[in-house]
Structure formats: C-alpha cells, structure tokens
Amino acid sequence: MDEIRAGAGAGRPSPAADAVVVGREIRPTAYPRGEVRASDFRVVEVGVRGPQQGEVLVRNTWTSVDAALRVRLREKAPPGYFPAFPLDQPMDGIMTVGEVLESRADGFAPGDTVSHASGWRDYAVVEAGKDALGGVGTLTKLDVRGTPPQAHLGALGGTGLTAYAGLFHVAELRDGDVVWVSAAAGAVGSLVAQLAKIRGHRVIGSAGSDEKVRHLLEELGLDAAFNYKDGPLPDLLREAAPDGIDVYFDNVGGDHLEAAVGALRTSGRVAICGMISEYATEEPSQGPGKSQGPGNLMLAVTKSLTIRGFRGSGHTHLLPEVRRQLGAWLREGRLHCRETIVDGLPQAPAALAALLRGDNTGKTLVRIDGVAHRENPGG
Ligand SMILES: NC(=O)c1ccc[n+]([C@@H]2O[C@H](COP(=O)([O-])OP(=O)(O)OC[C@H]3O[C@@H](n4cnc5c(N)ncnc54)[C@H](OP(=O)(O)O)[C@@H]3O)[C@@H](O)[C@H]2O)c1
C-alpha cells in the first residue's frame, strides 16, 4: 500500500503534523474501458486531520456501491449529472454511514451515527450543512433505533428515495396500473416492485438469472417474473403481461425500454431511472447517432405515453416521508431488503464490478473493517 502524507479532509491538503489518524481511501487510477476492473483503482493511505470549526471527523462503517458510479468513471460524466471522478483523487460523492469520532459542529457529538457523501474511505472530515449529492449526501444524524445503520444507504436513504419518488411521483402510479420493473432484484428495483405490491398492484419483475426470478416470486411476492436472457424480450413480457402494462420502471434502457414502449397501454407511463445496459459504452445515448434506445418511439405518440427521466436527488424533500413510510414497512416486515455485503474497504471496486455483472441481489454494501487504521500517526 502506498503511503502519502496528505490530508484527506474536505479536499484540503494538510501537513502530516495535523493528522490524527491514518486512513485508507480508494482512488481510480484509470477510466475503465468496458468492464470495470479492480486494477483500475488503488488503495492509498492518508493522514486524516482533525475537524475544524463546523466539521466532524467520522469513522465510516458502511459504504454504498451503486450502478451509477460507472457513469462517473469516465473523462466526462453525462451533462447534468454529478461530476466525473478525477483520477488519483478520493472519490467524493458516494454515500456512506459512520460514527462521529470528534465534532466541532453544532448538533453532532461523538458516538452519533451519521450519513454523508465521503464514501469509499474509512475516515472522513465532513463539513456540516455543506450540500452533497443534491442534499441526499449532506451530513445527517441518523435515528438508528430499530433499523441497522446501513439501511440508510438502502431503503431509508437515496435508494429508497429513488424508488419512492420514481414510482409515485414520476410514474404517478394510479389505481389498477400493471407495473413492470426491470433489474427488479437489484437495490432500486426490488424496492420499486415491493412498493407497487404493497399498494395492491399487479407487478412483473425481470432479472438476469433463474435464481433471481425465484427470489422475485417467492420472497418478494411478485405476480410474474422472467429471466430476460431466456428469449426475445417482447415475447417474455407478453407472456407475463398478456394485456399489456401501464407503468414501466426502467433501470436498464436499450432493448428493455423498447419492449416496454411496445407493451404499454394507452396513457402508459415510463419512469426512466437508469440505463445500466449502456454504462460500459463510451458515450451512453448522449447525442445524435449514439442512441441504443427504442426504435419504436412513434408508439409514444400513438399511445399517448409519458416518458420521464428523473433523479432521486431531485426529490430530496421526500426523504423524511421515505424514512417514515419505508421505515414503518421495514419494521412491520412488509419490505424485504436483501443485502449483498462485501467485507473490507479494498474490495469496493470488485463489488462494483460484480454489481455491474449482475452478481448481486438487493443493495450492495461494503462493510468497512477499520482494521488497518493507526491512530495518532505523528504522536
Ligand atoms: N435516477 C436516479 O437517481 C438513480 C439512483 C440510483 C440508481 N439509479 C439507477 O437504477 C438502476 C439500478 O441501480 P442500483 O444501484 O440499484 O443497482 P442494482 O440494481 O442493485 O444492480 C444493477 C443490476 O443491473 C442488472 N444489469 C446489469 N447489466 C444489465 C444489462 N445489460 N441488462 C439488464 N440488466 C442488467 C444486474 O442484474 P441482472 O442480474 O438482473 O442483470 C445488476 O444486478 C441503475 O440503472 C442506476 O443507474 C438511478
């Protein structure tokens, strides 16, 4: 492991003498071409300084692994999105939870469990009140009574917000709607599918393995599910929804979106949450001639469809409602949240690669062991 003597807090270098702890952080060293490889990253040891006025020092315990990180692992992120990760720098803007070790910020005390956006490292100095990830990642003290802290990276955090906002506010779920969710065994998809079931809808899920299909039917209680690798998508979808669908929650894009446009009934709605099938391409559908999207868009006219892209971070005002409502459903056992847990910070890149390959179910998380840290490196 390399050792460098730079401060890891708030992006400001600080001399080694200021460091109160040695932490590790993951840095990208090359932008992946095609598949993400662990060798595109390195683990760096850094001296982390203590907090200044308005800041807290946090020992991170869990950090999130999200499909959308792939979109930022390139020279330029798509317009309107969070910025690309600079090479050889800490990866700012990844959700994480941890424990406050030292606080110089009002409202935070040692021992508090917090969420923030300085993930993929084991220690972080975080400025209270500073906007991160559109507000989702701003330093927040968490109520962890009755729910494990990492739930705030899943159902009770940005993942839950994305599912809730996308289904209820973007797709505007209505009584009687038949709903198709793609990547339905993943973090966002499994929540969307369950939320629609809780509201009494017929829900169809698709995923990339027979084991995941069983999970959707047996554990999540969906009405129908199919493995999208089993044949032409329009046929698989027709079999699952012979009379068509009213809402499509899109996590995949490409051929999935095209099949949905074909199957949607008049006045149907699509919430485009993500397009993971395009993330490994050089420039995901960003300009003329780049589209891998639907070749049947004229049907949006003939069937009066509404197709809306959205970002969970555009609906941050719903977070308290999401925490309250999904928290209640979690505690009542009405929401099942599987987790794919990877142990050890250095495994974060491999966990991302596995997620992008589909080797995950539910929310993918890294449990940070904290074993490698040394306190008071200078002392
Ligand atoms: N708009 C927002 O604010 C927002 C926020 C969070 C996430 N998202 C989007 O939501 C989607 C899910 O993200 P997540 O973090 O929850 O990940 P996830 O669903 O837990 O994992 C991604 C899943 O995508 C599936 N997949 C990968 N490549 C595929 C392909 N070529 N075709 C079909 N399925 C494929 C894999 O499952 P299979 O085994 O089923 O293939 C994999 O498990 C992504 O598109 C992400 O960008 C959007």
Look up tokens 């390139």; give the residue.
Answer: 74
The Å distance, Cα 242 to ligand 1 centre, comes to 25
- E strand residue ranges, the chain: 2-7, 19-28, 41-49, 55-65, 96-103, 113-116, 123-127, 140-141, 178-181, 202-207, 224-227, 245-250, 264-272, 306-309, 339-343, 363-367, 374-375
Asked whether residue 293 is domain-assigned, the answer is yes
Q: What angle do CA 262, 254, 28 make, to 5 degrees?
A: 160
Asked whether residue 331 is domain-assigned, the answer is no
The closest-lying atom of ligand 1 relative to the alpha carbon of residue 362 is 20
Asked whether residue 51 is domain-assigned, the answer is yes
**Rounded Cα distance, 285 and 277, in Å:** 11
Closest CA relative to residue 293, chosen from 351, 242, 253? 253
Alpha-carbon dihedral sign for residues 274, 275, 279, 282: negative
Report the pLDDT value the prediction gives residue 372, as an integer from 0 to 100: 43
CATH code for the domain in which residue 165 is found: 3.40.50.720
**Rounded Cα distance, 144 and 150, in Å:** 9
183 lines ligand 1 (CB under 6 A): yes
Same domain, 113 and 237: no
The closest-lying atom of ligand 1 relative to the alpha carbon of residue 68 is 47
Asked whether residue 303 is domain-assigned, the answer is yes
Question: Residue 273 sits in which domain range?
Answer: 158-315
Count up the domains in the chain and report the number. Answer: 2
Mutate to test the pocket of ligand 1, among 276, 357, 361 (most ligand atoms within 8 A of CB): 276
Helix (H) / strand (E) element for 300: namely helix 298-302
Same domain, 46 and 116: yes
The Å distance, Cα 275 to ligand 1 centre, comes to 7
Same domain, 223 and 92: no
The Å distance, Cα 189 to ligand 1 centre, comes to 8
Residue 288 DSSP code: T
Q: Give, using CA atoms, the residue closest to atom 38 of ligand 1.
A: 208
Contacts of 309 (CB under 8 A, 6+ apart): 272
Alpha-carbon dihedral sign for residues 50, 107, 10, 93: positive
Same domain, 262 and 176: yes
What is the number of other CB atoms lying within 10 angstroms of the CB of residue 11? Answer: 12
Same domain, 52 and 70: yes
361 lines ligand 1 (CB under 6 A): no
Q: Give, using CA atoms, the residue closest to atom 11 of ligand 1.
A: 251
Same domain, 253 and 269: yes
Same domain, 301 and 224: yes
Same domain, 143 and 169: no
CATH code for the domain in which residue 111 is found: 3.90.180.10
252 lines ligand 1 (CB under 6 A): yes
The Å distance, Cα 271 to ligand 1 centre, comes to 14
Same domain, 162 and 25: no
pLDDT in tens, the chain (379 residues): 332 233 333 334 444 568 889 999 999 999 999 999 999 999 999 999 999 999 999 999 999 999 999 999 999 999 999 999 999 999 999 999 999 999 999 999 999 999 999 999 999 999 999 999 999 999 999 999 889 999 999 999 999 999 999 999 999 999 999 999 999 999 999 999 999 999 999 999 999 999 999 999 999 999 999 999 999 999 999 999 999 999 999 999 999 999 999 999 999 999 999 999 999 887 666 665 666 679 999 999 999 999 999 999 999 999 999 999 999 999 999 999 999 999 999 999 999 999 999 999 999 999 997 544 444 433 3
Same domain, 187 and 57: no
Asked whether residue 320 is domain-assigned, the answer is no
Collapsed DSSP state (helix, strand, coil) of residue 129: coil
The closest-lying atom of ligand 1 relative to the alpha carbon of residue 276 is 45
Same domain, 137 and 51: yes
Asked whether residue 67 is domain-assigned, the answer is yes
pLDDT in tens, 30-78: 999 999 999 999 999 999 999 999 999 999 999 999 999 999 999 999 9
Report the pLDDT value the prediction gives residue 343, as an integer from 0 to 100: 96
For helices 254-263 and 233-240, angle between their N-to-C axes, nearest 10 degrees = 40
CB 192 within 8 A of CB 170: no
95 lines ligand 1 (CB under 6 A): no
Report the pLDDT value the prediction gives residue 293, as an integer from 0 to 100: 73
Look up tokens 């599918």; give the residue.
Answer: 193
The Å distance, Cα 186 to ligand 1 centre, comes to 6
CB 251 within 8 A of CB 276: yes
124 lines ligand 1 (CB under 6 A): no
Look up tokens 């060798």; give the residue.
Answer: 39
**Rounded Cα distance, 170 and 268, in Å:** 12
Report the pLDDT value the prediction gives residue 15, as an integer from 0 to 100: 46
The Å distance, Cα 69 to ligand 1 centre, comes to 11
Asked whether residue 327 is domain-assigned, the answer is no
CB 103 within 8 A of CB 160: no
Question: What are the backbone dihedrals phi and psi of residue 83, each rounded to the nearest 5 degrees, phi first?
Answer: -65, 160
Same domain, 285 and 136: no
The Å distance, Cα 5 to ligand 1 centre, comes to 37
Q: Give, using CA atoms, the residue closest to atom 29 of ligand 1.
A: 277
The Å distance, Cα 187 to ligand 1 centre, comes to 8
The Å distance, Cα 190 to ligand 1 centre, comes to 10
The Å distance, Cα 343 to ligand 1 centre, comes to 21
Asked whether residue 171 is domain-assigned, the answer is yes
**Rounded Cα distance, 274 and 117, in Å:** 20
| CA torsion angle 101 339 273 137 (round to 10) | 0
Q: In the Cβ-directed half-sphere of 358, how many Cα atoms lie within 13 Å? A: 19
Helix (H) / strand (E) element for 237: namely helix 233-240
Contacts of 231 (CB under 8 A, 6+ apart): none
**Rounded Cα distance, 180 and 240, in Å:** 9
Mutate to test the pocket of ligand 1, among 164, 212, 251 (most ligand atoms within 8 A of CB): 251
Q: Give, using CA atoms, the residue closest to atom 45 of ligand 1.
A: 274
